[in-house]
């Protein structure tokens, strides 16, 4: 099925550093989303993007919807230990048959060393 290519697969950083991760696809998406998943929990929505070129912030998090509608990135500034977790990009494909189905990337595992 349709896949989003998310990179990097994992990151090991020091507290206070900035983090950047991205997602790309060969298909066009109408909506890009970024989620965080903690162990034993379901994904929690961090940021939603609805228009090409849109840049949206949520506290220390900033995400952008790529101009081509085929990519998105997420930045985390001044990382803290509670940022540890798995980050997923997700999108809703353009076209009338997507039924609101979310397509997820493979995830980026973030480890923050104090």
Partner 1 sequence: ETGVTQSPTHLIKTRGQQVTLRCSSQSGHNTVSWYQQALGQGPQFIFQYYREEENGRGNFPPRFSGLQFPNYSSELNVNALELDDSALYLCASSAALGRSTEAFFGQGTRLTVV
User: Residues interacting with partner 1, by CB under 8 A?
Assistant: 1, 4, 6, 31, 33, 40-45, 48, 50, 88, 90, 92, 97-107
Q: How far is the CB of 14 from partner 1 (least distance, A)?
A: 25
CA distance 88 to 22: 10
Helix, strand or coil, per DSSP, at residue 83? helix
Do 93 and 103 contact (CB within 8 A), yes or no?
Answer: yes
Q: How far is the CB of 83 from partner 1 (least distance, A)?
A: 19
Query: Smaller CB distance to partner 1: residue 4 or 74?
Result: 4
CA 98 to chain centroid, in Å, comes to 19
CA distance 84 to 66: 25
Query: Smaller CB distance to partner 1: residue 52 or 104?
Result: 104
What residue spans of 1-114 are helical by DSSP H?
none
Query: Smaller CB distance to partner 1: residue 3 or 18?
Result: 3
Q: How far is the CB of 33 from partner 1 (least distance, A)?
A: 6
């Amino acid at each position: 099925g349709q896949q989003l290519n998310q990179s990097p697969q994992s990151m090991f950083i020091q507290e206070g550093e900035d983090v950047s991760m991205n997602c790309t696809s060969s298909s066009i998406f109408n909506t890009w989303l970024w989620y965080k998943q903690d162990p034993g929990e379901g994904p929690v929505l961090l940021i939603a993007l609805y228009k090409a070129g849109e840049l949206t912030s949520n506290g220390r998090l900033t995400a952008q919807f790529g101009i081509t509608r085929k990519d998105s990135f997420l930045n985390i500034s001044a990382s803290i230990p509670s940022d540890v977790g798995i980050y997923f990009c997700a999108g809703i494909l353009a076209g009338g048959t997507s039924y609101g189905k979310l397509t997820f990337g493979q995830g980026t595992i973030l480890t923050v060393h104090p």
